Amino acid sequence: MINRDEYMQKLKAQIDEFNAEAAHWEDKARKAQAGMRAEYERQIENFRRKSQEATAELERLQRASADMFGELMRGADRALHEMQEAFNRASKNFDKK
């Protein structure tokens, strides 16, 4: 079985890494022309929502008993996967423009 502390550290590091990159997107969105700014902001908002969901799952894991940890870990994995998908979609959008 995976070590609880290692898993939570890994999850937090991934969330932090994605959020750091999203901060760069916000700078790009502020500098964009009005038409592009709206699309950038929509992508950022979608990503931020998924980031908040993943962070909430991490917080639930931190409070979970040992018995509940495995079950909650699946939810955290799902939230991180959805966050990564939103990140990838937004990243493609920012990279191509």
pLDDT tens-place string over residues 46-61: 999 999 999 999 999 9
How does DSSP classify residue 33?
Answer: -
CB 25 within 8 A of CB 94: yes
> What pLDDT score does 37 carry?
85
Share of the chain above pLDDT 90, in %: 46
Tell whether the torsion through CA atoms of 67, 69, 72 and 77 is positive or negative: negative
Confidence band, pLDDT 50/70/90 cuts, at residue 1: low
CB 18 within 8 A of CB 49: no
- Structure tokens given for 1: 């079985």
pTM above 0.75, yes or no: yes
pLDDT tens-place string over residues 73-96: 989 999 999 999 999 988 887 776
SS3 labels along 61-84: HHHCCHHHHHHHHHHHHHHHHHHH
